Amino acid sequence: MHLKASSDISLIADANLVLLSVKSPDTEPVIRSIASILPFDTVILSLQNGVSIVPMAKTFYPAVVYVAAGMNGYRTVKHHGRGKLVLGIY
């Protein structure tokens, strides 16, 4: 799989998945700018430290999930919460 990266938000208008990798203070301006562009069923995967953006994200999107996880080595993710976390193609 080849991924394309860009800072031009108009290119994501038909995206199925958006990987959002910005510092916490930049999250709200980015979410505000993409909220009206993306289809309602687009998955936004925010990869950042902390949970301070969860309440703000809920004002734009009906389903927001926080997963406590971290890198535990090369290609290894450790889930710090309860239950099972499955990553990959489903």
**Domain 9-79 belongs to what topology?**
Rossmann fold (3.40.50)
Q: Is 60 exceeded by the pLDDT of residue 90?
A: no
Q: Parse the chain into domains and list their residue ranges.
A: 9-79
Confidence (pLDDT) at 50: 64
Confidence (pLDDT) at 48: 76
Cα 87 to Cα 11, 25, 40: the distances in Å are: 26, 27, 22
Instruction: Give the pLDDT mean for 62-83.
Output: 80
Cα 70 to Cα 38, 77, 78, 81: the distances in Å are: 27, 6, 5, 11
Confidence (pLDDT) at 61: 76
pLDDT tens-digit readout, 6-54: 788 888 898 888 888 888 888 889 888 888 898 888 888 887 776 677 7
Confidence (pLDDT) at 51: 65
